[in-house]
Structure 1
């Protein structure tokens, strides 16, 4: 009897304490706002945007992110210059750690820290890396949570026009 009562309390508690997970969906509009980049500049999608935007969420401590950032670096070098808006977003707790990571690896792509606007748009980050591609109207047209590989980046070249 006590076990049954305890089980009911636990289930009831979970129903009211646990919030549903917010998942990013295809077609969802993402508002980035203006983001301060790690190199001191700013990144924002122009009002008259006519390009796709690639957003990659990463962390310096993530081995999968390290590998995927290398693939992204090669992707950036392969596609025509200025054919996409590209920003990567670190979820590290400290911006200096993210800056050091970018410098150590010699990455040339833009990087920023997670912004409140982006966090509201994509929801809770439950794993990294995350790769998102937006169309010219900031709608999600591609998303992948977890590592993607070099051949996957080749298929993403279709978004660079």
Structure 2
């Protein structure tokens, strides 16, 4: 019953979020701190695209999508794509435990007020965004992405 309630909530909120992020929009990622307390920032002279995935520990679609992302992250050539995921959970310890329990190795950080201001209010998840080297959205997907669509995201990776 709880799962059904979460599914209905996620689906009901998807259209609202779809209006907030558009292809061509610039997102200021700013400096972040990962759940492992490591600073994360896109280099000033960045030449790579950046994959951002927004998720939460309670989201069943996010759980599937994070598994797809982990597979993609391991298959990507080193330094070919900037990757950062953003948890919208209120409790960073819960998000960190989720990452550890699922043995995810991709970088994860918490949503910051600055990033939220740049992205707009997150009302539906998961969200997957690809930014170009100038932080402009070149790909955006709201809701679950299937494995074959995830495999296609390799096209955004650039040879180092």
TM-score bin (small chain): 0.7 to 0.9
Larger gyration radius, structure 1 or structure 2: 1
* Residues in 2 aligned to 1:100 and 1:84: alpha-carbon distance in whole angstroms: 25
Q: How many residues align?
A: 142
Q: 1:94 aligns with which of 68, 91, 99?
A: 91
**In structure 2, what is the equivalent of residue 8 of structure 1?**
none
**In structure 1, what is the equivalent of residue 124 of structure 2?**
127
Give 1:23 shift: 1.2
User: Which segments of 5 or more consecutive residues in structure 1 lack a partner in the other structure?
Assistant: 1-19
TM-score, length-normalised on structure 2?
Answer: 0.86
Q: Deviations over 1:27-67 (max 9, x none)?
A: 11100110011001011110000000000000001111000
1:52 aligns with 2:49: yes
1:82 aligns with 2:76: no
TM-score, length-normalised on structure 1?
Answer: 0.85
* Residues in 1 aligned to 2:115 and 2:149: alpha-carbon distance in whole angstroms: 24
**In structure 2, what is the equivalent of residue 148 of structure 1?**
145
User: Which segments of 5 or more consecutive residues in structure 2 lack a partner in the other structure?
Assistant: 1-15
* Residues in 2 aligned to 1:94 and 1:83: alpha-carbon distance in whole angstroms: 31
RMSD: 1.3
Q: 1:26 aligns with which of 8, 23, 26?
A: 23
Q: Secondary structure at the match of 1:76?
A: helix
